[in-house]
Structure 1
Amino acid sequence: MQRNQETEHMAEYNPNFELTIDDIDLIESALRQTKEAYSQQHIELFDEEGTPNEEAIQLDETMKQIQDLLGRIHNQKVFFRPREEVYIGG
């Protein structure tokens, strides 16, 4: 049986994303909600001695990936700073 050439090649990613600020905000909110839900589940996956089971370990890795992505989104934001006034952060 001969394979079609199209099925032999892996799909390529589109390097041009057309996401709006609102799209990114929605993604960020969904990631935060997912992380919060996972965090609640994570607490319940420890035994009496406080040892995590395999599912807790996997969930922890997923939460770390979500936090990393949230950090990268945050680092790409440009925050407003007044040009003519003294900026007081906080």
Structure 2
Amino acid sequence: MPKYNLKFDLTPNDMDLIENALRFAAANASDEPRIDAKSANELLGRLHNQKSFYRPKGPYISG
């Protein structure tokens, strides 16, 4: 489960809503000329890069 950057005044549910709206906008960009799919995807990338993902401190053995 990703851990969100605490510098934002947004909850994880807010971030999820924003990401889903951006994905929807990028997928339907051809229907709405005001929406640029490239800029929506770039913003999604910037949001993704600010997340802190869980990494185990010790060695991880799968399987």
* Same-fold status (TM-score > 0.5): yes
Could you state the TM-score of these two structures normalised by the residue count of structure 2?
0.68
Give 1:31 deviation, angstroms. Answer: 0.5
Unaligned runs of 5+ in 1: 1-15, 43-54
Give CA-to-partner distance per residue, 1:17-52, whole Å, 9 cap, x none: 52111101110011101111115x38xxxxxxxxxx
- Root-mean-square deviation (CA, aligned residues, Å) is 2.6
Unaligned runs of 5+ in 2: 1-6
Verify: 1:82 aligned to 2:56, yes or no.
Answer: yes
What SS does structure 2 have at the residue aligned with 1:71? helix
Alpha carbons of 1:21 and 1:84: their partners in 2 closer, same or farther (altered >3 Å)?
same
Tell me the number of residue pairs that the alignment of Structure 1 and Structure 2 aligns: 56
Runs of 4+ with >6 A deviation:
none
Give 1:86 deviation, angstroms. Answer: 2.8
Choose the corresponding residue for 2:19, options 28, 31, 35: 28
Could you state the TM-score of these two structures normalised by the residue count of structure 1?
0.50
Q: Which has the larger radius of gyration?
A: 1
